[in-house]
Amino acid sequence: MGLDKWIKKDDDEKKESVSKKKKEDISKEANKLKKFSLKCSKSKCNYQKTLMKRSLSQKDKICPRCKSEMKIKVK
């Protein structure tokens, strides 16, 4: 009666191993992402944005305000 909570069943072990695998997969995906800090090259515009992506597209590199190309810093 009282010892049942100490005995692990096969189902419980499977659930624990699945949750550990999911955590490992998430951490691997996070390692693939890069943090890009983009700043507009025009001093009057001064627009900034930060993106978390694997790689930047051409659309990301263009300033939405003034349509000029932005400076890129990888963190």
- pLDDT for residue 70: 94
- pLDDT for residue 75: 80
- pLDDT for residue 32: 82
Q: Based on the number of CB atoms within 10 Å of its own CB, is 70 exposed (0-12), middle (13-18) or buried (19 or more)?
A: buried
9 pLDDT tier (thresholds 50, 70, 90): low
The model's pLDDT over 19-72, given as tens digits with 9 standing for 90+, comes to 666 666 666 665 788 999 999 999 899 999 999 998 899 999 999 999 999 999
Q: Which residue has the higher pLDDT, 65 or 15?
A: 65
Following DSSP, what letter does each residue of 2-50 receive, concatenated? -STTTSPPHHHHHHHHHHHHHHHHHHHHHHH-EEEEEEESSTTT--EEE
Q: Among 3-7, 10-14, 42-46, which stretch is predicted with the lowest mean pLDDT?
A: 10-14
Domain parsing of the chain, residue ranges: 33-75
